[in-house]
Structure 1
């Protein structure tokens, strides 16, 4: 206790005066006024006649205790207003229309401006190592993927070098390597085949490279437009499982499409058919296998063995036998890493040398194996592309699937590596980067390029520091274009097929991925499997479109069929630092941390002790319980221990929690759920037997009643007292309560629309008609000011003439108050309220039907 100085005496005298005033208030005529207001309006701020005067008072009088030493306090009223368009403009739009924001937008298009001035030698060394390493992988892969796209190999080189150069200027991801990829190459081949089929054979100017470059032009225009308009969020409409489905199906398609080339009979199988047909035809022609299989199967086996040894088994041996020598272990692991990265290049070099040895003395086109052939040196036909008339129109049907593959694959890869390596990737800027890359690539005869997962993973493992590493990768490709094209002639086609199969096999989803989809969400697993099957048995385009439709359908269904719940109440309390009573040791009690240590020590010594889950928690008697509203099916929703029994709301009160947004998609369903529940658990306000037959609705006429002459004939008397007793000889009393309060929990509603608000108005009208009186509509947990504005526009939440007349129930109004402190030091609030804290109204006192949380209706006089 503090010493009683002058200020404390004044406070004590003031409290005594307040107590005396309160006692006088209880014995005065104001009690009668209060009861009259409660009887007619449901509370002192809900009367249409007197409420408006009361809410204009300067204070709200609250009887009870805010603290241990006061029984009467006054809280200033808080007049809350609806949000306006001007406030929205000031809050969200004004700052985006300034010259400064325009400058920031322009600077955001070139992220390199922010980090290039800080470039240093440490970054440069890491970028050079990563860039050259990736460049050595990029050269053989780009020529291989060009074959998938049914293009000459040099076009893969053109796409890879320009992609590496341009992307580094616009990128927000340091790890992504842009260039030709397997799935996009397959889609390019599909587009080329479809467009060529629309032209007569050998039409001048219509060639596969021209179509591929025109596709790059269209993809670039769309991607850069979406990025500049900041519409990258549209890419998120397609779910991960759908993307994984068509990626797996496409990889399976590519893999089987390369088997004929691997075995040496590629001319006998049409690899542009549906995948299942390619598989059947490939197996049919196995007897036609040629010597090429030696240059395909052997490299393929070596590549997988190499990957297993350098990527898995070798490092494990290093950890096991060189644990005592960290330096040697680090050197050996470094060797394994770079050997793993160079495996494709080494295999191609070795088997190209063997191919040269057996074919350089043979006439061209008559060699024992099929080789890559002539690759033009340098950059040919550089300049503005000339698009043949009508070509873009004939390509239009193939464009959507191509753009989806291009954007989805790149965004998924860039965001994945951003999360792994702890930096932020801006999807809109990535779309600008990929769009600029493909647009500028049309000047170099490039075909569509996007992010590669395997090369990006390699860059990340090499310790790349900035996007500038792409410049060094591009230089490696340029050197190959100008200096190594003569050697490219002798690369065996079967060896390139082996490299493709080895690279694409990483895109196949493993059984673990499928099982994880099933464990996380079974419908996602179904979508994944169906997408794979459609891609394999139909086409990659149909797989993509199914993935899109499935994602959109799931989104719509989740909104159209909301998981609304009716709520009941339970008393809960928070137990801080609970003690745990050990079973069989009544004198022992531990806190939670000590329990874990105790159980661990018991295990070490082989003692059979109960697990922490089996130990009863001892709650202290001063725990403060408060009302928590949870669904009645809490055993299914897992919100609460299923052994706890949920208490229903007081009779005549319905509490319903809406989920997600409340819009035109789901408002009708919410309406039906709520009104059906009301009719099932409450009775009508006016008994139906008091209404004429002609006044009853056609769909609720009651039970059939015998004509009067039959009644007189059999002398049967009828005493009907309720809706349900009509037509029955026994008097039945409906003990269901009258509906008094409908409380809607809006804590999960982030937006509404006019259709939904109108359905709420219709519900209010239907409920009033059913109850034959006005029923209070309360709203709790509204998060959006625009949701509150929408409700206010239809006279929800406030006292008004239309919906607060003398038929409103008698009860008590409820307000939430908040204790606020002027101190920002958390330590002051750790053990109690701050000395300078004050109590304020939490919500507007002019809106008594809006609450911070669901009121405790059990304490109301309903």
Structure 2
């Protein structure tokens, strides 16, 4: 590699580094690598390389069923921890299952069914040690809200239940397909701000809807917006039951108090975990002893004993409402995935292990597909139950198996004990759980850090509360996508200046001590250059040049603008529209009798600039490895342009600056 030293008084400038054009790569090989990095960033097949056929078969089974990997190492110490955790979450799962089934307008027994089969499937196929599987409030609310628009559960309960099973089947099919096709990144479009606002909005609506149970109302709207819910409540003031309201307020206070105590003293987490089941037991005893069901307090009634009956033949594939079930399944499936994976990753981070997002999707999908065939509706990994599982000291997914066994015993022998369970207690349990989802601290943090994220959060919240759950979700996702588009379509261009006594160049707005270089405008492009932003960047660079020239003219500086350096370090990719933008920018610069210089272009950019012949047009001698080298070369040329300076080349140097780089 040739190097030229241009010697002049008072010093020397050296450009010892060469900008290298990457060697060409076959298109199909490059395309294959791109697909692999997009869909297989974790390279799941690496463990199968150089393995005998029998070992590959075993590894394949362990990949699909992780329990086969950690099961042989399972110890008695793990069993003791998982046994305690499983019994603890079962005490929460039983009342929550019954409550959330009511929220979905489904028979309460389906909530217990959904806490039996899906946890067993997840224990075999899931990769999280801490996730506790079961029904969730938001998924139940979505299921009830979307299905009840077309089928009234009070008029045609059988069809409604069949549609719920069908929606669960399609939710599972969608989730498993995302995992198998390695499309898990789709869920990432639900940003943190979106989820915070959506969850808070859904929790607000759920709390308002539970006033039906608290006030002892028999007829209530199926709408989810706050206006219809409040209208339904206050239009029936003459039907409010003070007995039910008093009982509901007492149990709600008890549940919130136990949660507060558990938060103040984490080692007493079990107090909050046992509170829902305790409420059910106390409420049932109170109703049984006082015969409160005869005085306006509604009870669950009889629950069928026995394990999950098969429901494969109940899937309504031939129903006129099939599209409703498919739409419900896809939307609820996305929400369930977002919640379950987020919860699993959160607890995995605490214990310093990794979970495979795509394997989790397959596990969620299979447990919902199997669940839809065994009288279950939508399940995922709820935060409240998983938090209890984590705090109870679970070691593996065996805690889900213990919970499922406890639910099985309940289904076989204990369901008659729930006959006198008051609905008002279930409403109190749901309200207490939902209040924990209204994370106002997270919303305030969004306001402090990023106002646009706060706007997305509030849009989701307002859309859910005043519109519907679907509207809130669509608005929030649309705003998140709009932000991505704005980031791509309107990238930042930054003026760089030199930090004193260094060769470092930084944003002059961020570092006031950074000084611009006389006669040189240094601009950093802060994003890949695509068709969506090429026109904007061309206009913005042109305006920067005009503004710099006006500034120099106004200040009556002796030095005029001579060079425009584009720092391409953040430009990871460029398309043909981007190359056309650079060509047009060079023409603009040439018309102003300036010189365009590029610094720090990446390998992909260099390959395309070379193939497009732009490098020949610009001159490879005007492409530098760093901004510092580009500035040094430009300063040298400015110095040599002055008549009083006499620059000479070293004897061993070439004739052109091209050999410098």
Same fold per superposition (TM over 0.5): yes
Q: Does 1:60 align with 2:3?
A: yes
Higher relative contact order, structure no. (Cα contacts within 8 Å, ≥ 6 residues apart):
2
The residue that corresponds to 2:567 in the other structure is 745
Alignment of 1:446-485 (within 5 A): 446-485=376-415
Aligned equivalents of 1:465, 1:300: Cα separation in 2: 32
The answer on whether the counterparts of 2:21 and 2:606 sit within 8 Å (CA) in structure 1 is no
The answer on whether the counterparts of 2:100 and 2:140 sit within 8 Å (CA) in structure 1 is yes
Report how far residue 425 of structure 1 moved: 2.3
The residue that corresponds to 1:532 in the other structure is 461
Q: Does 1:158 align with 2:113?
A: yes
Report how far residue 467 of structure 1 moved: 1.6
- Name the CA shift for 1:682/1:351 in 2 (closer, same or farther; >3 Å): closer
Alignment of 1:360-379 (within 5 A): 368-379=296-307
Report how far residue 672 of structure 1 moved: 0.4
Report how far residue 370 of structure 1 moved: 1.4
The residue that corresponds to 1:264 in the other structure is 216
Aligned match for 2:167, one of 201, 215, 240: 215
Report how far residue 504 of structure 1 moved: 1.4
How does the TM-score come out when normalised to structure 2?
Answer: 0.85
The residue that corresponds to 1:288 in the other structure is 239
| SS of equivalent residue, structure 2 residue 376 | coil
Deviations, residues 362-410 of structure 1 (Å, cap 9, x unaligned):
9xx8565311011111135315234331432243444443233222221
Report how far residue 224 of structure 1 moved: 0.4
| SS of equivalent residue, structure 2 residue 506 | strand
Aligned equivalents of 1:373, 1:215: Cα separation in 2: 27
The residue that corresponds to 1:100 in the other structure is 48
Aligned match for 1:674, one of 521, 541, 544: 541
* 232-241 or 217-226: bigger deviation: 232-241
Q: Does 1:168 align with 2:123?
A: yes
Deviations, residues 239-260 of structure 1 (Å, cap 9, x unaligned):
1111110100100111110112
The residue that corresponds to 2:255 in the other structure is 303
Report how far residue 759 of structure 1 moved: 1.4
The answer on whether the counterparts of 2:167 and 2:328 sit within 8 Å (CA) in structure 1 is no
Report how far residue 273 of structure 1 moved: 4.4
Report how far residue 534 of structure 1 moved: 1.5
| SS of equivalent residue, structure 2 residue 471 | helix
The residue that corresponds to 2:517 in the other structure is 649
Report how far residue 668 of structure 1 moved: 1.2
Aligned equivalents of 2:525, 2:221: Cα separation in 1: 55
Cα root mean square deviation, aligned:
3.2
Report how far residue 61 of structure 1 moved: 5.2
Q: Does 1:851 align with 2:625?
A: yes
The residue that corresponds to 2:225 in the other structure is 274
Aligned equivalents of 2:497, 2:229: Cα separation in 1: 60
The residue that corresponds to 1:443 in the other structure is 373
The residue that corresponds to 2:309 in the other structure is 381
The residue that corresponds to 2:653 in the other structure is none
Q: Does 1:631 align with 2:512?
A: no
The residue that corresponds to 1:84 in the other structure is 25
Alignment of 1:512-591 (within 5 A): 512-571=441-500
Aligned equivalents of 1:489, 1:283: Cα separation in 2: 30
Q: Does 1:760 align with 2:582?
A: yes
The structure in which a higher percent of residues are helix is: 2
Deviations, residues 116-142 of structure 1 (Å, cap 9, x unaligned):
222111212111111111011101110
Aligned equivalents of 1:533, 1:75: Cα separation in 2: 59
- Name the CA shift for 1:398/1:306 in 2 (closer, same or farther; >3 Å): closer
Q: Does 1:337 align with 2:213?
A: no
Aligned equivalents of 2:146, 2:98: Cα separation in 1: 19
Deviations, residues 496-530 of structure 1 (Å, cap 9, x unaligned):
111111111111123x2222111111122222222
- Name the CA shift for 1:661/1:75 in 2 (closer, same or farther; >3 Å): closer
- Name the CA shift for 1:310/1:558 in 2 (closer, same or farther; >3 Å): closer
Segments of 5+ residues of structure 2 without an aligned counterpart are 38-42, 639-661
Report how far residue 737 of structure 1 moved: 6.2
Aligned match for 1:769, one of 591, 611, 620: 591
Q: Does 1:789 align with 2:604?
A: no
Aligned match for 2:278, one of 338, 342, 346: 346
| SS of equivalent residue, structure 1 residue 451 | coil
Aligned equivalents of 1:514, 1:569: Cα separation in 2: 39
The answer on whether the counterparts of 1:143 and 1:153 sit within 8 Å (CA) in structure 2 is yes
The residue that corresponds to 2:650 in the other structure is none
Report how far residue 72 of structure 1 moved: 13
Alignment of 1:108-187 (within 5 A): 108-187=63-142
Aligned match for 1:430, one of 327, 341, 360: 360
- Name the CA shift for 1:111/1:736 in 2 (closer, same or farther; >3 Å): farther
Deviations, residues 145-166 of structure 1 (Å, cap 9, x unaligned):
0000000011111111112111
The answer on whether the counterparts of 1:379 and 1:444 sit within 8 Å (CA) in structure 2 is no
Report how far residue 62 of structure 1 moved: 5.0
Aligned equivalents of 2:250, 2:134: Cα separation in 1: 28
Aligned equivalents of 1:105, 1:543: Cα separation in 2: 41
Report how far residue 91 of structure 1 moved: 6.5
| SS of equivalent residue, structure 2 residue 522 | strand
Alignment of 1:193-272 (within 5 A): 193-196=148-151, 207-265=159-217, 267-272=218-223
Deviations, residues 682-736 of structure 1 (Å, cap 9, x unaligned):
59xxxxxxxxxxxxxxxxxxxxxxxxxxxxxxxxxxxxxxxx9xxxxxxx99988
Based on CA coordinates, which of the two structures has the bigger radius of gyration?
1
- Name the CA shift for 1:351/1:163 in 2 (closer, same or farther; >3 Å): same
The residue that corresponds to 1:355 in the other structure is 287
The answer on whether the counterparts of 2:113 and 2:308 sit within 8 Å (CA) in structure 1 is no
| SS of equivalent residue, structure 2 residue 304 | coil
Aligned match for 1:860, one of 627, 631, 636: 636
Deviations, residues 9-47 of structure 1 (Å, cap 9, x unaligned):
xxxxxxxxxxxxxxxxxxxxxxxxxxxxxxxxxxxxxxx
Aligned equivalents of 2:531, 2:558: Cα separation in 1: 32
The residue that corresponds to 1:659 in the other structure is 526
Report how far residue 422 of structure 1 moved: 2.2
- Name the CA shift for 1:159/1:670 in 2 (closer, same or farther; >3 Å): same
Aligned equivalents of 1:376, 1:249: Cα separation in 2: 34
Segments of 5+ residues of structure 1 without an aligned counterpart are 1-57, 65-70, 316-332, 572-624, 684-723, 725-731, 805-845
The answer on whether the counterparts of 1:348 and 1:495 sit within 8 Å (CA) in structure 2 is yes
The answer on whether the counterparts of 1:682 and 1:737 sit within 8 Å (CA) in structure 2 is no
Report how far residue 264 of structure 1 moved: 1.1
Aligned equivalents of 1:76, 1:173: Cα separation in 2: 49
| SS of equivalent residue, structure 2 residue 516 | coil
